[in-house]
């Protein structure tokens, strides 16, 4: 009898919930005896390609749709004999679009997610593993672990089809989440990221408005866990129980991603966002008073239907004064089935491009100003990714994220190696032109196609070199 070990490639696009779902599937498949190929394996294994490909698609924008189709076609070309399975939000809302792609074998939407693995097991004759598998033991390859605590949303923002694709909010059991986090810590993770479509709705479906605050308090007590962060949280979801808990929480990372979408009240109203720009600003002020060195990043939707030049300027002015650490700018794209898909007038592509360019300038200036505050400070950097070589001097660097989610580059050497997955107390010396906080006194520019630095055009920033006191490992997963 021959034993065939299945080889799977799993890709996810879009939000961290997709990433988490993909990792959970990888974990299940590994437990069932499959090999999960990582990026380098998947592209270099011409002689032994995958026999299973799964793509967790995103449909949040038309661009998400396009990238999903591109990824599917790419994998079909790379692994022509694989079972091609398409999951995620695009598979939920327009399965027929995807079924027409030549080479797609199975389309399983989010509402049928429980059927995904049984269908794969049946198609490939894989024996189902015993016992419950948690979200991504496989993510041991990573330094941060992602833990899904919630799915679904019922807010019906007028541009968003997520309530149509993922249903009403449903929360995972607190005990199961804590067990999963402890498992990650035992596997060496120092940081976990709590993911959900609407994190602030955690526990609401059980009628428990204190559930999120209580979960965070419990996480704070987990020995070996250095820090945890929230992937994204809506402004309306900072209820009193959560606000009251924040000052007590020692391990909660001081960074929140709080979607703004527009700085214009009239646009916010048409978006059905249920807050004003003033509400948003007051919330940030309150959070800053509760959490020192808090970084706030956000999303802004550019060119919402009917957005006048005056409304676009209101957003620019608002964003300028907020000093966000990072702003993700999304051009509006109509999503079928949403209220905004029928709103008129549509903003021309040229106007959207122009407004986006203006916002890029404003957000860059704010992000630089925010980062400057940390030159001379000590940040706790969790090292991630591979070593990088500075193009001019050949010196080695590693990069990682600070507790407030700023990317930092630190020199490494054989004598003083930095290891991925460890946290180092790091004195920041300067800010480079890529908004990278650095501890190196040279003017090196990192060169690596592996790292996706935030390229920020022609901005030139140098704060001058300070004293490198040293990188002191304060926590290790080894």
Residues forming the site for ligand SF4 (CB under 6 A): 153, 155-157, 160, 162-163, 197-198, 234
State the minimum distance, in angstroms, from the CB of residue 168 to ligand SF4. 11
Q: Which is nearer to ligand SF4, 260 or 312 (CB)?
A: 260
Helix (H, G, I), strand (E, B) or coil at 116: helix
Q: Which is nearer to ligand SF4, 121 or 156 (CB)?
A: 156
Q: Which is nearer to ligand SF4, 197 or 295 (CB)?
A: 197
State the minimum distance, in angstroms, from the CB of residue 197 to ligand SF4. 5
* Cβ atoms of 378 and 334 closer than 8 Å: no
The two three-digit tokens of residue 6, written as one number: 């299945």
CA distance to 232, 342, 389, per residue, from 63 (Å):
21, 19, 33
For residue 334, count other CB atoms closer than 10 A to its CB: 16
The length of the chain, given as a count of residues: 478
Q: Which is nearer to ligand SF4, 42 or 260 (CB)?
A: 260
CA distance to 235, 282, 297, 453, per residue, from 238 (Å):
6, 12, 15, 31
Q: Which is nearer to ligand SF4, 180 or 234 (CB)?
A: 234
Q: Which is nearer to ligand SF4, 195 or 197 (CB)?
A: 197
State the minimum distance, in angstroms, from the CB of residue 379 to ligand SF4. 30
State the minimum distance, in angstroms, from the CB of residue 261 to ligand SF4. 8
Q: Which is nearer to ligand SF4, 159 or 374 (CB)?
A: 159
Closest to 42 (Cα-Cα) out of 90, 85, 8: 8
Which residues sit opposite 11 in a β-bridge?
Answer: 55
Q: Is the dihedral of CA 243, 247, 249, 252 positive or negative?
A: positive
* Cβ atoms of 268 and 307 closer than 8 Å: no
Q: Which is nearer to ligand SF4, 258 or 364 (CB)?
A: 258
State the minimum distance, in angstroms, from the CB of residue 162 to ligand SF4. 4
State the minimum distance, in angstroms, from the CB of residue 312 to ligand SF4. 20
Helix (H, G, I), strand (E, B) or coil at 348: coil
State the minimum distance, in angstroms, from the CB of residue 375 to ligand SF4. 35
The two three-digit tokens of residue 211, written as one number: 């559930």
State the minimum distance, in angstroms, from the CB of residue 184 to ligand SF4. 26
Provide CB contacts within 8 A for 213, sequence distance 6+. 241, 242, 244, 245
* Cβ atoms of 274 and 236 closer than 8 Å: yes
Pairwise CA distance, residues 26 & 352, whole Å: 39
């Amino acid at each position: 009898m021959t034993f065939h070990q299945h080889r799977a490639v799993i890709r996810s696009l879009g939000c961290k919930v997709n990433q988490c779902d993909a990792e959970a599937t990888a974990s299940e498949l590994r437990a069932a005896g499959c090999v999960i190929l990582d990026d380098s394996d998947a592209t270099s294994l011409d002689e032994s390609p995958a026999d299973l490909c799964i793509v967790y698609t995103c449909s949040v924008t038309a661009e998400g749709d396009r990238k999903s189709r591109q990824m599917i076609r790419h994998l079909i070309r790379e692994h022509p004999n694989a079972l091609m399975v398409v999951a995620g939000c695009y598979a939920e809302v327009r399965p027929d679009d995807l079924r027409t792609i030549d080479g797609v074998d199975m389309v399983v939407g989010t509402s049928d997610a429980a059927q995904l693995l049984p269908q794969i097991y049946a198609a490939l004759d894989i024996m189902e593993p015993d016992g419950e598998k948690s979200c991504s033991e496989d993510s041991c390859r990573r330094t941060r672990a992602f833990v899904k605590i919630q799915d679904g949303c019922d807010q019906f923002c007028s541009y968003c089809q997520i309530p149509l694709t993922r249903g009403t909010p449903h929360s995972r059991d607190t005990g199961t989440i804590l067990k999963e986090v402890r498992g990650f810590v035992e596997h060496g993770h120092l940081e976990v990221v709590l993911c959900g479509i609407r994190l602030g709705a955690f526990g609401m479906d059980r009628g428990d408005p204190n559930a999120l605050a209580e979960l965070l308090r419990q996480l704070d007590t987990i020995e070996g866990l250095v820090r945890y962060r929230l992937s994204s949280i809506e402004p309306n979801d900072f209820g009193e129980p959560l606000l009251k808990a924040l000052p007590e929480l020692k391990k909660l990372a001081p960074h929140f991603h709080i979607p703004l979408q527009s700085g214009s009240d009239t646009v916010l109203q048409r978006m059905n966002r249920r807050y004003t720009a003033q509400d948003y600003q007051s919330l940030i002020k309150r959070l800053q008073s509760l959490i020192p060195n808090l970084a706030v990043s956000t999303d802004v939707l550019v060119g919402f239907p009917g957005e006048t030049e005056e409304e676009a300027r209101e957003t620019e002015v608002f964003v300028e004064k907020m000093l966000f650490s990072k702003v993700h700018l999304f051009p509006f794209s109509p999503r079928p089935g949403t209220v905004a898909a029928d709103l008129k007038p549509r903003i021309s592509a040229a106007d959207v491009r122009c407004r986006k360019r203006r916002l890029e300038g404003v957000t860059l200036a704010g992000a630089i100003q925010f980062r400057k505050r940390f030159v001379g400070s000590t940040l706790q950097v969790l090292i991630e990714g591979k070593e990088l070589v500075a193009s001019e001097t050949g010196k080695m660097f590693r990069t990682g994220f600070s507790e407030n989610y700023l990317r930092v580059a630190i020199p490494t050497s054989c004598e003083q190696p930095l290891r991925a997955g460890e946290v180092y107390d790091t004195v920041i010396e300067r800010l480079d032109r890529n908004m990278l906080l650095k501890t190196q006194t040279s003017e090196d520019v990192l060169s690596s196609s592996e790292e996706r630095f935030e390229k920020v055009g022609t901005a030139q920033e140098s704060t001058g070199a300070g004293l490198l006191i040293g990188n002191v490992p304060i926590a290790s997963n080894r």
